[in-house]
Amino acid sequence: MDVNQEKVNQVRKIRIFDTTLRDGEQSPGCSMHINEKLDVAEALERLGADVIEAGFPAASEGELKAVKEISAVIKNATVAALCRCRKEDIDKGWEAVKDAAHPRLHVFLATSPIHLKYKLRIDEDTAVEMIRTHTQYAKSLTDDVEFSFEDATRTPYAFLARAARTALEAGATTLNFPDTVGYATPAEMKEMISYIRENVAGIDRAAIAVHCHNDLGMAVANSLAAAEAGASQIECTVNGIGERAGNAALEEVVMAIKTRRDRFGMYTDVVTERIFRTSQLVSGIVGIKLPPNKAIVGKNAFAHESGIHQHGVLANKATYEIMSPKDIGVPENTLFLGKHSGKHAFSELLEEMGYSLTPEQVDAYFPRYKELADRKKEVTRSDIDALLSGIYRRRVKRIYSLKDYEVTAYKNSASALISLEADGRIHSDRMTGDGPVDAGFKAINSLTGQNFKLTDYQVHSVSEGKDALGEATVKLASPEDGKVMTGKGISTDVLEASLIAYINATNKLLQEE
């Protein structure tokens, strides 16, 4: 059955609204460089997200600039800007998305009693007037206006329906009912959406959306329950990142709808074969390694340890696998190349793995592959993916790069001589520390004249074996504004990977200042 016929046989399309770049980036330590935001936005468009919430333009000039640049490169998806019920917010939001091919203003106001009383310090009548006024103003700028009733799941239904009618009459084309604090259950989500559909006249003129947080671990279940009750847009993030316990995970929502289409009678336009690569991209950029048991995209999602399970899978994969790894684009990890393989074989493998490199890019990466093959006896697909992890990324400008290092260590003391290149000149310095990594990081600080705070440092293997590639992740915070940036480094030498990661994070922070 072809894709179009499959969609005809299904009942309803669910629009995927991705807020990785807005709610996701609000996770502690998940700040992204503007070039990284552009990479994620383009990956989301290739993935098939219907709406990309690019940011909160009124938050800062940097955020405004980022949303503008995203709006300029996205051609198919709708680009949304989040705005509070303030004219100045809406003006900033419109400035940011007005040149997008498909712009959307996403305006919100809290409606629950606790938010009205303690956060906003207004009554219900004032809230309703604010909803009317600001929805009308947003509508005067663009036809596509979404209004969100923050903390909807803790809002009395009668007032929630009143607020929804007000936004609808003022011109909103999407009405969003968030479970902002992850408090609701699936039964309550169904009940709330059903109430809205039954008690808001003309509700069919607008799309109904939900935005669920995962504080009680029910974000995906709540989102799907709302869709069953009639919601047509689900707001989610890649890998479920977001404030506190995160948001509904895009990959889980999409694959649940696809795998259980017999139950849901729905479909999305997400290209599921791109899920794994998009997940890896976001994970690498924000520096959050996924738990191995993470649904859909975790390392163990398709692994079978139990002998009984292995026997069943060998006999028929459907005994224990309800999805195929190919459905989400998980590459097989078979060895294909050795150090004697030529450029043609390298190029053919990359094409088979789904990479579309120009001849110039192949020329640039082939020497790096040969260097890797000289260091490792076996080169796997995981190694190739790691080698090319930045191939589609816009390069963050290299202010400093590692040229050489020399480390001596004995018990709890170490000395590191680090050489960095900047502006075509090489600078070296030696520092001591509690260990080789500490000494190396101190030497980099000395050479760059910075005192960024190390907030997180992780090292793990990318592939298998004693000669596996090591991947280091470093998070550095600026002492001035607390801005956090993530740096990654990959090498068969974990110390080298660590130094590269520290330098990359430093380069990002220097460009944010």
pLDDT of residue 410: 85
In the three-class reduction of DSSP (H, G, I as helix; E, B as strand; rest coil), residue 203 is classed as helix
pLDDT of 225 > 90? The answer is yes
pLDDT digits (tens, 9 = 90+) for 55-86: 999 999 999 999 999 999 999 999 999 999 99
pLDDT at 279: 94
pLDDT at 389: 64
Which H, E and C letters describe 365-415, residue by residue? Answer: HHHHHHHHHHHCCCECHHHHHHHCCCCCCCCCCCCCEEEEEEEEEECCEEE
Span 238-254, pLDDT tens digits: 999 999 999 999 999 99
pLDDT for the residue numbered 336:
56
On whether the CB atoms of residues 106 and 89 are closer than 8 A, the answer is no
State the pLDDT at residue 387.
Answer: 73
Residue 42 has pLDDT above 70, yes or no: yes
Task: Give the pLDDT of residue 313.
Answer: 42
Number of other CB atoms surrounding residue 424 within 10 Å: 5
Give the per-residue pLDDT at 462.
75
Whole-number pLDDT of residue 316: 52
The pTM for the full model equals 0.85
Mean pLDDT of the chain: 89
What stretch of H or E contains 13?
Answer: strand 12-13
Q: If pLDDT is split at 50, 70 and 90, which confidence band does 9 have?
A: low
The tokens for 319 are 């005994």
Closest C-alpha to 148, from 268, 20, 56: 56
In Å, what is the CA distance from 214 to each residue of 49, 161, 210, 211, 240? Answer: 21, 24, 13, 10, 8
Looking at residue 115, the DSSP 8-state letter turns out to be I
Is 347's pLDDT higher than 60? yes
Closest CA relative to residue 489, chosen from 481, 499, 479, 497: 497
Sign of CA dihedral 20, 26, 30, 36: positive
pLDDT at 26: 84
- Given this model, what pLDDT does residue 352 score? 64
Q: Could you give the CA distance from residue 53 to residue 70 in angstroms, rounded to a whole number?
A: 10
- Per-residue pLDDT, 308: 43
| CB neighbour list of residue 218: distance below 8 Å, 6 or more residues apart | 182, 184, 185, 186, 212
**Residue 385 has which token pair?**
């993916």
pLDDT at 466 over 70: no
Which segment of 6-10, 175-179, 310-314 scores lowest on mean pLDDT?
Answer: 310-314
- pLDDT score for 492: 80
pLDDT digits over 96-152, tens only?
Answer: 999 999 999 999 999 999 999 999 999 999 999 999 999 999 999 999 999 999 999
Most confident of 283-297, 309-323, 331-345: 283-297
Q: In what order do the strands lie in the sheet with 413-422?
A: 401-410, 413-422, 425-433
Position 393 scores a pLDDT of 55
Q: Is the pLDDT of residue 486 over 60?
A: yes
Are the C-beta atoms of residues 75 and 48 closer than 8 Å to each other? Answer: no
Residue 334: pLDDT over 80: no
The reported pLDDT for the residue numbered 304 is 44
- Statement: residue 426 has pLDDT above 70: yes
